[in-house]
Every structure is written in structure tokens, then in C-alpha cells.
A and B are shown apart, each in its own frame.
Chain A
């Protein structure tokens, strides 16, 4: 394998709003003093990051790679708008973008700074820069994508974001994304992270900030299939206005180290936030999910369902927090995390948390870690289903509860097949 990839010089973003320039300076200072969080930090306790990966070149991004010809084979085929992002850079040629009259607008962050400076002002208000990875991203993001749904627009087709990692260069990538869903709008977004011909280790440190307008419904489903060369830190934070419904699903199927930080801020009365996930780490993989349901105002609901299956020497982490602030009365918040260990060398670490400062609330969490039901296994084996097939069937049913939260049938089928493949390789 030749490492011919040449890194482009670090681009300095032009036309950044004044406050963002200052925010970048502050973030840089925070990062310089704190660095990346290690496993001494409470929030990153169970994440063993490869320090070599953190030292990957920060000098710039590789030249835009030609999109591999066999890409379509790895994609989910369904009728959707397609947004292809290669190594963090929007590849418009290969995308099938909606026309601008439709009320849906997609562009790179770099262009947005020129064409819609007003819109660019929404960057940086939600992500918490006290987190080392967010600080790093805020200080040094080079590009990213921006998605805007106008008010009263019900997007007719799902939006399919393909986050492709490819090439021979090793690098550390900071991408910054922004989603804005106007009032009374409706959208179904899928983000599919995958690697094709990725021959060197890379580190993606992505931050996505989302605004969901009043009375809007949005779903954001993420499929993480990065392969052994991809380290990912996905930070997703959404601010929900009154009566909005946001569903965030995340399926972590492969990758070296994957850390998913998902934070829903219920900031308007009557908002509903849902978080679902499946993570299946096997040998050499650590999948770490941190979620936060931040109830800021009264009369909001949140639901959470995370399912973990640990194979081989895999390591899975779930840390979910329900945070009910002082005035957030009449809150209903539920969280459920269930895990299965299929190997003696695998580990699961969970920490479901409740932090509650209001009294008129109903909050609960439940967490279990165990193995497949022996009786169910026996039942199936007694009926001629082999051990391996029975095991797969049970895992399918187990993860199915979360997979079924996905709206689109083609995506659900893709996920089921991908989970099956993962178990086959174990």
C-alpha cells in the first residue's frame, strides 16, 4: 500500500462571525490547558483511547479523494436525497441534493459562511467546550456540512448522509455540522459512516449541533460502520423548542474506538426527546455511549433505550443521565439499558444516572447485564434450530426492539442484515 496521499495545508476559515473567532480562541486555550480527556476523567473513565491515534497529523486534510466506484454496493438503497461527504468534505458531484426551492438546503460549512452568514451564526451555541474533544473541534474545525429545513416544510424523502472515510493518509479530522429544522417542519435523516479502501488509521472528531423548531418532528439515525481503522468521537447536541419531537437512533456496528455523546436539551414546554441505540463491540473494539436528557422546562418527556451485545474481547459502555432542573416539573423521563455478554473476555460497563432537582416528576431507569435466555435457547434447539442460528435469532430479537425505532423499512432491513453479519464474523 502506497502512502501517496498528500495533505492539504490547514485551511483557515474565512468570514467567521466575530463571536466565533473569540470562541475558537477560548476553546484553544481550554484545549491547551486540559488536552484530551484520559481515563482519569470521570466522563471518559472506560474509554481507552489509543494515544497514537490522538497524535495523528493535524496539519491538514487529504486531497479530496475520488469517490470509490464500488461505493453504491455498501450503501442502503432507498429513495432518498443523498449527501456524500468524503473525509469530512462535502462531495456535491456525487450527491443527489434536493433543489433549493424545496425548502431543504444542504451545503458545506465553508460555503455557508459566505452565502448565508446569518445562518452561520448558529454555530457554537450548544456544544459544551469544557469537553476536551469539543474544545479541540471548536478551535480547529476545518469544514463540515450544514442542513436547513425551512419552516412548515415536510421533507418528502429521507435525507441520507454518507460519511465516507477512504484513502491512504493518516489524519485527525475535526468536522463541524449544523442542522436547523424550522417550526412545524418534518424530516427524517440518516447518517451512515463507513470506510472503503481506508488503509491508514484516522480519527474523526465530529460535532453536530441541532436546532429543532416548535411543533417539529425530526429523526436522526446514525449507522456507524467505520471498520478497524476508524476512531470516531461523535458529539451530537440538540436544542428542542416547544412541542417538538426528536428521535435520535445510533447503531454502532464497527470501528476501533467509537465514542457517542448524545445530548438532548428539552428547552421548550411539551418537547419530547427519544434516544435509542444498539452497540455490538467485538475483539479490538470499544464502543462507548454517553447520553444526556437535559430537562430544562416543565412538561417534557424523554425516553431512552440502549441495547448492548458484547462479543469476543469487545468492550461496551453505556452511561446515561437524566438531568431534571429545578423548574422542570411534571417531567416524565424513562431510560432502559440492557446488555448481553456473549463471551467471557468481553466487558460491559454501565452507569445509568438520575440527577433530579424537581419534585413533581416521574423518572426511572433500569439496567440489566446478562446472557441469552437458556430456556429460549433450549426451546429452539429442541425444535431443530441449531445453537448458532438460535443465538442469532435471539440477538436479532434483542436488538430488534431498538432497530424497530427506525422509521424507514429499507434501513431497518439493512441494520438487521448488518447485525447478522457481525455475529457471523464473531
Chain B
């Protein structure tokens, strides 16, 4: 076929591989109870927060690392990680002039110009950004504009100080610290993240967004995001992630919790582009993330959309617990692996309420020596009458040394529900290429067209502003083959 294109795809470079020269404050490597206390005191946290962390830490000590995913990596030395790194900037920032110019440069390189955001305020379809570097939120834009509507959008640490009632009410309710090894670790040492609360009946007027950036060497990033849509509220949220090129593996173990009350709707989109390691598979981020949402009330809806192009290892399952009757869960995913990347990703749809619906569309693309697995669970509880699920998991193979795998679990416990699952694995058909070429497209454009069409179901789900970015990302990962 278009071997050159595939070679080019496989040879493409990571464009976000620089590191910024920002003064950073880090703590000593290693993890003990003192580390947890130190992080908590650095953040000036109230007693209940420290208590939560310590409980999680003590529980974590009792746990062992899970080994069931279809990924291989050397054992992580948890004592060889810096658990806290923060850009050295203590004073509250009133305007952007006070921001470290290096930091501004960083964001400009990332394509999120904070200044431009500021200037454009008031213009329709803006994006409010919370930027997190090395697990500390450095700048949240549009906070005031949002606050007028009653929307709270701030860093997690700020929320702990200013909205302790909300944090105490929701923290750990969707992903308890006992959930899994990495969720427990995160609960013990998380340093920051984003918090968002949309009050009753409010439709968030702009896209909210968090940018995560790992900058310092030897650090792990452990952030925590908590999103609550109260009754009838709506929010669309996007996270993006990048990291510098380093030849060591860095750990990213985040937790995201979503809560949708009656008729609330959350749309959560991720464009994940952590450094994937070099062509020999050296370096790169281990992306071990727990993401889960709960549709608490009737007719609530949670939708996950993810475009996964980065990370040496991606291991995550954004899930939805469909508790409220008539609630809806969706999962749309494009996962691209190249070189020696490994991805084991998918979702869990747990149907508990009556008449609940879920849709899963997963598209995997593997090239080089990579391995790409879809792993998912659809469980229809006994009381989830008339529930409905549709899953489609397709894999596209771009080389003869890569692997594509599907591990769906389907459990149905009543007679009125319907579950459908289908999966296909193939390479780009010669006949499809031939068809395109016959109509005057060259090889490259043909592959671009086919891959684009292949991912379309998922890309269509992204908010307008990010669909463009996601396509750009895809074209970086599959350089030369996507137009």
C-alpha cells in the first residue's frame, strides 16, 4: 500500500517536547506519611483534607499494583518520584503583566495565549482556561465572568479554601480512595487540579478547559478534577495535556470525578498528548488515570470524548454510573498508538436506573510496534429495566508489527434490556485506496480521507473549538496521512 506514508507516520516527531525554564519549587523525592503532611501544609489545607489524604495513604500502603492490563512496563519505584513541584510564584496575580514571562511563552507555544484570551473576553464562544503546570494551577481565566452566573471554576486548592462545603460533600464520592491503587495514591498526594460547579438551571456560556503540563524532571503529576452539574445545568469541559521530551518515564496518575444531578449534563472532552517516548520507546509518560462520572438524577447525561495520541502507556477507562432513571452515558474515543506506545483504554457503563441508555464508540489506530487495546464493561443491573447499550469498537492496523485487541465484558441481568456490541479489525483496504486513486486522489490524500472518515464519529463529538485542534493532533501523530 502506501508504505512511504506509513513510514512517515511512524517517523513523525513530538512537537511539544521542549521544557520551560520556569523556576520551580520541588520537594524531596520519595513518599512517606511526612510527604503527605508536607504537601498538605504547603497548600495550607484544613484538617479534614489532611485526614482524607492520610486515610488514602494508609490504605494505599496496603494495596498492590494491579497487573491485569495488556501493557508491559518496568516496575515503578514510587520512592524515586518527586510528589510536589510548583512554579515559584507565590503572590496572587491581578493581571497578566505579573505572570512570569517564561510561563506566558510556555502557553503561547502550547497554542493557548492567555493574553489573547483576556483581550477577547466578552466575545461569544470563548474558552475559560485553567492552566496546570506540574500539578499546580497557575492561572484561571474568566473566573469573574463565570462567577457572575454563579459558576465556580477555579483550581482545586482554591476550592478547598473557599468552597469547603462543596468539596467535602463530593470529594471521593465517585472515585473513593479505596477504588484502586492509583486512585489511592492520587488521593494521598494530589497537589492541585480543577474544580467546577454549575448551579441549578445554569447553562455554562463558554467551554471550560484545563491545560495540564508536566515540566519538571523526575516529578509525577497527580491532579484531581471535580465537576458538578446541579439540576438542569450544562457544561462542556475540555482538558489538554503535554509534556517535555525526557528519556525517563514520568508518572501521571490523575482522578476525575463528575457528578450530574437531575437533568444535568456534562460533556467532558480530552485531548491527551503527553510525550509518547522516542522511536525506541525510551521515555514518555505513564498515563494511569481514573475517570468516572455518576448520573445521579433522572434524565442526567454524561458524555466522555477522548482523543488519545500521547503517553508511552495509556491506561484509563472513563466510566459512567447510570443511577438516575432515563440517564444517558456516552463514550467516544480515538486512540492512536505509534512506535512503542501502549494503550489499554475503554469504558465502563454501569446501568442501575431504569430506562438508562449508553453508547460506546471506540476507534483504535495502531502503527509501529505499538499495542492498542479496548477494554470495556457494560453491566445491566437487575433493576435497570428497558436499558439500552450500543457499542462499536473498531481497530485499524498500520503495520505488521503492531497489535490491536478488544476485550469487552457484557453482563445482562434482566430480560427487558438490549445490548449490542460489534468490533472489527482490519487495515486500510486496498480497494478503498484504489477507489480514491481512481478518482484522482493521490495515495497520501486517500489515506488521509479514509483515516478521517474512520475517526469522524468521534471527532464530531468534540466541541467546535477543539475539533480543529484534535484533527491537528491526529495529523501530528499520523503526519503526512491526515489532511
Contact = CB atoms under 8 A, between A and B. Distances in A.
Interface of A: 42, 326, 329, 339, 341-344, 346-371
A356 B419 contact: no
Interface string B399-439: 11111111111111111111111111111000000000000
Nearest to A368: B420
B395 interface: yes
Contacts of B400: 326, 329, 358-360
A363 B426 contact: yes
A292 B300 CA distance: 40
B431 to A, nearest CB: 12
B398 interface: yes
Given A344-B382, A359-B402, A367-B408, A354 B418 contact: no
Contact of B406 (A346, A353, A359): A353
B208 interface: no
B423 A354 contact: yes
Interface of B: 68, 382, 395, 397-427
B397 A352 contact: no
Given A351-B409, A370-B417, 7 more contacts: A356-B403, A357-B402, A360-B427, A368-B421, A370-B418, A370-B420, A371-B415
Could you say which of B399, B407, B415, B422 has the most chain A C-beta atoms within 10 Å of its C-beta?
B415
A359 B399 contact: yes
B360 to A, nearest CB: 13
Given A361-B427, A364-B425, A365-B423, A371 B406 contact: no
A342 B417 CA distance: 11
A359 B421 CA distance: 22
A42 B67 CA distance: 12
A212 B406 CA distance: 29
B405 A346 contact: no
B160 to A, nearest CB: 39
Nearest to B6: A359
Contact of A367 (B403, B414, B420): B420
Given A356-B397, A359-B398, A369 B418 contact: yes
Could you say which of A347, A352, A356, A358 has the most chain B C-beta atoms within 10 Å of its C-beta?
A356
A114 B419 CA distance: 54
A370 B378 CA distance: 13
A279 B51 CA distance: 52
Contacts of B413: 347
B426 A355 contact: no
Contacts of A367: 408, 410, 419-422
B339 to A, nearest CB: 16
Contacts of A361: 397, 425-427
A343 B462 CA distance: 40
Contacts of A354: 395, 404-406, 423, 425
Nearest to A365: B423
A42 B68 CA distance: 9
Given A356-B395, A361-B425, A344 B415 contact: yes
Q: Which 9 A-B pairs have the closest CB atoms?
A: A359-B397, A370-B418, A364-B424, A354-B406, A341-B415, A366-B422, A367-B421, A369-B412, A363-B425
A371 to B, nearest CB: 5
Contacts of A353: 405-408
A346 B403 contact: no
A363 B415 contact: no
A342 B424 contact: no
B414 A344 contact: yes
A202 to B, nearest CB: 30
B398 to A, nearest CB: 7
Contacts of B402: 357, 359
23 contacts: A326-B400, A341-B412, A341-B414, A347-B413, A350-B409, A350-B410, A350-B421, A351-B409, A351-B410, A352-B406, A353-B405, A356-B397, A356-B404, A357-B403, A359-B397, A363-B425, A364-B425, A366-B420, A366-B422, A369-B412, A369-B417, A370-B418, A370-B420
